[in-house]
Amino acid sequence: MLQRGSKVVPVPWVRRLVMDAGRAAHRRHAVHGLFEVDVTTAREALRRHRSATGEELSFTAFVIACVGRAVAAEPAVQAYRDLHGREVIFGQVDIGLPIEATLDGVPFAFTHVIRDAGRRSVRDIHREIRAVKADPNRSPSVRKAAWARAYLLLPGIVRTGLLGALHRLPERQRALAGTVGVTAVGMFGAGGGWGIAFQLHTLSIVIGGITVRPALRAGQLVEREWLQLTVSVDHDIVDGAPTARFISRLRSLLTFADGLPAAPPPAASTEAGGQNHD
């Protein structure tokens, strides 16, 4: 007998997909790196832009734009190995981003793929995320819900095998989930901290929290905003050198507020180094 106030509810179909993804992810030999990046310049640029124009660009969109540019400059980090053992290196960066929205009065999370993120502006990416949040049916992922429910009718061992083999079918991986995975923990909660997500892509990034703490600048202690960032790569496919180059470029883009309309020139910023963000 249930305790008073308790209830039994069915497991949402989206949650069942997440469970399958977790079972499939353990097959990857992932290497995780936890970093901090000084994003004070970027945060100030976003605040100045909001004050000057009334437009509030999201920090998540800025990070995604930087990830897209960094991957485009080092495409080996989004390579996939096909069934013949060959590596397929995509020239276009398609980023899969989990988004929480409400559909038919029920909150749920789904992965929306932001296509060609390496060539798009922060504003363009921001508007796409907002549009999909406001109307989830704009996302192809949600429009494929009927197929997902049909997939869930398969036996569990078959479903896990299909998801586990997805990364060996590079074009299907790109079409369904994108070439890079980005999870924005800050979209769902406040505070600092790192996160480690399921490794369903060759390259996965978790945008963690932002903390404020002092740093020494020109002989004085000043408050800086630090972003906690987790970068995970499939070491079966990507070696340390391209990963290091990617991280170095991403750190630079984030530190110098690359692509933000109100950002100062790079020379005005300082070295790289992680409050809540959209």
The domain made up of 30-140+169-268 has a fold known as Chloramphenicol Acetyltransferase (3.30.559)
Least confident stretch, 1-15, 52-66, 231-245:
1-15
Q: Which two tokens stand for residue 43?
A: 């945060």
The DSSP 8-state label assigned to residue 179 in this structure reads S
Q: pLDDT (tens digit, 9 = 90+) per residue, 256-268?
A: 999 997 544 444 4
Classify the C-alpha dihedral 86-90-93-94 as positive or negative: negative
Sign of the dihedral defined by the CA atoms of residues 174, 29, 100, 150, in that order: positive
Output the pLDDT for position 269.
Answer: 41
Q: How confident is the model at residue 270 (pLDDT cuts 50, 70, 90)?
A: very low
pLDDT in tens, 148-194: 677 777 787 777 777 777 778 899 889 988 999 999 885 545 667 88
pLDDT of residue 227: 95
Please give the average per-residue pLDDT across 104-115, as a whole number.
81
Whether the per-residue pLDDT at 242 is higher than 90: the answer is: yes
Judged by average pLDDT, the poorest of 19-28, 36-45, 161-170 is: 19-28
User: Mean pLDDT over all residues of the chain?
Assistant: 84
CA angle 209, 66, 108 (to 5 degrees): 55
Burial per residue of 213-232, b for 16 or more beta-carbon CB atoms within 10 angstroms, e otherwise? eebeeeeeeeebbbbbbbbb
**What confidence score (pLDDT) does residue 225 get?**
95
Q: What is the 3-state secondary structure (H, E, C) of 76-139?
A: HHHEEECCCCCEEECCCCCEEEEEEEEECCEEEEEEEEECCHHHCCHHHHHHHHHHHHHCHHHC
- Residue with more model confidence, 139 or 39: 39
Of 112-116, 121-125, 136-140, 210-214, the least confident: 136-140
Q: Which pLDDT does position 186 carry in this prediction?
A: 59
* 205 sits in which H/E element: strand 203-217
pLDDT at residue 271, rounded to an integer:
42
Contact in structure between 92 and 268 (CB atoms under 8 Å): no
Share of the chain above pLDDT 70, in %: 82
pLDDT for position 43: 95
Going by C-alpha positions, the residue among 174, 193, 77, 68 that lies closest to residue 124 is: 68
pLDDT > 90 fraction of the chain, expressed in percent and rounded: 51
Sort strands 180-184 and 106-114 into parallel, antiparallel or unpaired.
Answer: unpaired
